[in-house]
Structure formats: C-alpha cells, structure tokens
Amino acid sequence: MNEAFYQMYKSTRDLVADFGKQDLDESTREYIESLKNGCDRLDRTNDAFIKRWQNERFLLFRFHKGGLSESMETLTIIESFEQLICIINEWFDSPLTKITIEPYIYDHRIDWDTQLVMIKVRDQTYPVGYLNKKPQWNAPKEETINVD
C-alpha cells in the first residue's frame, strides 16, 4: 500500500463512519457496510504498514501510563518542542523546570527507537513518556532542555 492509497483509505474510513450514523436506505446501507468491511480488512492486514508509515513520517509521543496498550491510547503527533511542553503541562499540575530526552530502548512490538522523556518538577525527576525517535529540533548536545 503506498501513501496516496493510504490517504484515500483514511478518507473513506472517515466517510463510512459519518454515514454509518445516518438513516439510509437498504442498498446504500449495504454499500457502506461493504466499504466498512473492506476498511476493517485493510486495518488488520496492513497494521504493520500503518505503524511503519506513522513512525517514518511523524514524531510520536505517548505518556508513560499502565501497559503498552494504555500508553498507546495517549499517542499524539508532535510537531515542535513547544507543543511537547504544552501537552505535558496539560497532564501535569506543577510547572516544569526541565525536560530531558534520552535514548531508551528499541521496542520491536511497535517498531520504535524509543526516547525517554523525563521532566523535572521542583527537585523531583519523573519519567513522563516516550518519543518514537530522536526529535529533529535544535537542542543542546546532551538533549537536556531548560524550560524556565
């Protein structure tokens, strides 16, 4: 599956979800249901492609929360360091004084070259989440970025 087809599939999936909530005649409902079934098959057979496509194209962040499935429910696309700070600040009550990003492990389950995101609040340091790869924004060599 190439990227153009994936974009078309994603649009179809959204359209099917929107139409599924409406009162439709029998033939239209059957057509929508067949599209939905096709999308469901693509979801199952191309799950690895979708994960690889997301990992290559986006910087992804997930919170350190429960097991992998609970953590993946918090998945967010990160476009800048400032956005990462905002997302963490929304989740954490206290103001951050430092964020540290450091290499962690390669997670073969989700194909992530995992980077650990640590925050410092007052004098305590906490693991707050993970990135799927090293960010490309400008940061000091030691990957420690002061927020204050």
Cα gap 98→128, rounded to integer Å: 12
pLDDT of 59-106, one tens digit each? 999 999 889 889 988 988 898 888 898 889 888 777 777 889 999 999
Residue 6: predicted pLDDT? 64
Residue 139: predicted pLDDT? 52
Return the closest-CA partner of residue 84 out of 98, 73, 71: 98
Tell which wins on pLDDT, 123 or 61: 61
Residues ≥6 apart with Cβ < 8 Å to 97: 120, 121, 122, 146, 147, 148
What's the count of helices (H) and strands (E) in the chain, helices before strands? Answer: 5, 6
Residue 140: predicted pLDDT? 46
Band of pLDDT at residue 143, cut at 50, 70 and 90 = very low
Residue 56: predicted pLDDT? 78
Residue 12: predicted pLDDT? 73
Least confident window among 6-10, 53-57, 59-63, 123-127:
6-10
Does 128 score more than 90 pLDDT?
yes
Residue 102: predicted pLDDT? 93
Residue 142: predicted pLDDT? 43
Question: Are 99 and 85 a contacting pair, CB within 8 Å?
Answer: yes
Band of pLDDT at residue 144, cut at 50, 70 and 90 = low
Within the chain, residue ranges assigned H as helices are 3-19, 26-45, 47-57, 68-72, 81-91
Residue 105: predicted pLDDT? 94
Q: Where are the domains of the chain?
A: 3-45, 59-146
